[in-house]
């Protein structure tokens, strides 16, 4: 049990370390690249490279955003956030998706503008070409390095930031094509390539943003994974059926709650043990599953019409004592169980084996008397009696 409890904490710490490490390294490299590209663009007469350097500055903002969001998301649940802080990561993923969308719009707008005004382009030289090659290499490395961490800790936030690095590498490729094309006399090649890349970045932004929005509005798991979860629950001994299975995502984690149908005659402790086994098996066999709530049902209540509230134990015992007051043997009962099934209360009564002998009755007659007395109260249903040692 302790390993199941500690596993989510260890995963959260690992996620926090990965987010902190990648955002700090990314911020340092982005700052260096920004300075290099802006200076090389100014000295190498490349307007596109200067713009790309400014684009790299936006990555600094995303790295800061990732660091802050990752720190917040790794905090343990508290009174104000009983389900934890994983949604901070989701909100940050949405923000990065929006940022990527603006980057795509900016690149596309600039490409269209340059298509209609090619004379506005400067004539870059070899210095701008070299700086662009360095930028592509560094940003591509950052993309794969960050993406590896994202896959290892299952973080959509890191995945979004990795694609932000990739967008910068792609924009640098566009700059490279533009510089080389301009130097070779193909002035339109830069703008056409830039527009295509802008569409690619916009598609990535949409996928990241839509995924974050879907999570924020509590969209459930895919049908295939729902079927896997249901099959896992049904494989637990004592589970007869399930209904009202609901799932949702929180950051890189999955939460589920379900109603489990069990034998109506089992004890409360046995029903609780079944719920514990369901929780343990889901956390062990379903990837990313960290929070499970199991509701034990003695009967399938999905199609049951609303019924009038039945009396709870204290009131039910008082009614039974009144109804059975004229039956001497009923006063010798040792234990009594109540089963709330089908909109009525079924009663199990345990007597000492000598109860009938002392009161001049027999088990069949005693049961008939008990049932007849309960017919006056519609809250009660069947009666079962058992005899044991005194």
Judging by DSSP bridges, how do beta strands 344-352 and 380-388 pair with one another?
A: parallel
Structure tokens at 164: 């932000």
CA 305 – CA 387 distance, rounded (Å): 36
pLDDT of residue 348: 92
Give the domain ranges of the chain. 2-216, 223-297, 313-388
pLDDT of residue 250: 78
What is the DSSP code string of 316-376? HHHHHHHHTTT-GGGGG--EEEEEEETTEEEEEEEEETTHHHHTT--HHHHHHHHHHHHTT
pLDDT of residue 228: 92
Q: Whose CA is closest to 178, among 88, 110, 106?
A: 110
Pick one of 3.40.50.720, 3.30.450.20, 3.40.50.300, 3.30.70.1350 as the CATH number of 313-388: 3.30.70.1350
The yes/no answer on whether domain 223-297 falls in CATH 2.70.160.11 is no
Domain 2-216 class? mainly alpha
pLDDT of residue 2: 45
Same fold, 2-216 and 313-388: no
Structure tokens at 257: 């709650």
Q: Whose CA is closest to 89, among 106, 112, 70?
A: 70
Number of residues assigned to the chain: 390
pLDDT of residue 197: 67
pLDDT of residue 162: 84
pLDDT of residue 182: 72
Compute CA 54 distance to the chain's CA centroid, rounded to the nearest angstrom.
35
pLDDT tens for each residue of the chain, 390 residues long: 444 445 555 666 676 777 778 878 888 887 888 788 778 877 877 666 766 776 676 666 666 666 666 666 566 666 776 666 667 777 777 887 887 788 778 877 877 877 777 665 556 678 878 888 888 898 889 899 988 888 887 777 778 778 878 877 887 787 787 778 777 777 666 666 667 767 777 877 787 788 888 878 878 888 898 999 999 999 999 999 999 999 988 766 788 999 999 998 888 999 999 999 999 999 888 877 888 999 999 888 776 656 678 899 999 999 999 999 988 888 888 889 999 888 889 999 998 877 666 656 678 888 888 999 998 899 998 899 888 776
pLDDT of residue 263: 92
3-state secondary structure of 174: helix
Q: Count other Cβ atoms within 10 Å, centred on residue 91.
A: 17
3-state secondary structure of 247: strand
pLDDT of residue 293: 92
* pTM across the whole model: 0.65
Structure tokens at 209: 């943003």
Instruction: Report DSSP state, residue 312.
Output: -
| Sign of the torsion angle spanned by Cα atoms 191, 193, 196, 201 | negative
CA 350 – CA 335 distance, rounded (Å): 5
Compute CA 178 distance to the chain's CA centroid, rounded to the nearest angstrom.
43
The owner of tokens 């960290």 is 290
Q: Which helix (H) or strand (E) holds 249?
A: strand 241-250
């Amino acid at each position: 049990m302790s390993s199941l409890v500690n596993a989510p904490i260890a995963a959260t710490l690992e996620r926090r370390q990965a987010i902190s490490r990648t955002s700090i390294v990314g911020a340092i490299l982005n700052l260096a690249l920004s300075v290099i590209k802006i200076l090389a663009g100014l000295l190498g007469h490349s307007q596109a490279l200067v713009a790309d350097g400014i684009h790299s500055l936006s990555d600094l903002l995303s790295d800061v955003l990732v660091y802050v969001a990752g720190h917040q998301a790794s905090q343990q649940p508290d009174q104000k956030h009983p389900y934890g802080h994983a949604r901070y990561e989701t909100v940050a993923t949405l923000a990065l998706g929006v940022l990527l969308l603006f980057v795509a719009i900016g690149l596309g707008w600039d490409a269209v503008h340059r298509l209609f005004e090619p004379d506005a382009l400067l004539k870059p030289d070899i210095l701008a070409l070299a700086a662009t090659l360095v930028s592509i290499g560094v940003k591509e490395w950052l993309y794969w390095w960050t993406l590896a961490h994202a896959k290892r800790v299952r973080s959509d936030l890191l995945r979004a930031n990795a694609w932000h690095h990739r967008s910068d590498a792609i924009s640098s490729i566009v700059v490279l094509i533009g510089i080389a094309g301009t130097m070779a006399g193909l002035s339109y090649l830069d703008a056409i390539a830039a527009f295509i890349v802008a569409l690619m970045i916009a598609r990535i932004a949409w996928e990241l943003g839509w995924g974050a929005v879907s999570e924020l509005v509590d969209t459930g798991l895919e049908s295939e994974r729902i079927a896997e979860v249901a099959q896992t629950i049904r494989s637990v001994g004592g589970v007869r059926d399930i209904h009202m299975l609901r799932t949702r995502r929180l950051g890189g984690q999955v939460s589920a709650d379900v109603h489990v149908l069990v034998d109506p005659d089992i004890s409360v402790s046995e029903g609780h043990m079944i719920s514990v086994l369901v929780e343990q098996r889901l956390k062990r066999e379903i990837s990313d599953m960290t929070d499970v709530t199991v509701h034990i049902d003695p009967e399938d209540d999905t199609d049951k019409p609303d019924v009038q509230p039945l009396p709870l134990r204290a009131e039910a015992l008082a009614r039974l004592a009144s109804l059975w007051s004229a039956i001497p043997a009923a006063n010798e009962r040792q234990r009594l169980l109540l089963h709330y099934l089908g909109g009525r209360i079924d009663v199990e009564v345990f007597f000492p084996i000598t109860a009938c002998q002392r009161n001049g009755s027999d088990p069949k007659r005693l049961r008939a008397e008990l049932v007849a007395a309960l017919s006056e109260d519609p809250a009660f249903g069947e009666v079962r009696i058992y005899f044991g040692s005194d």
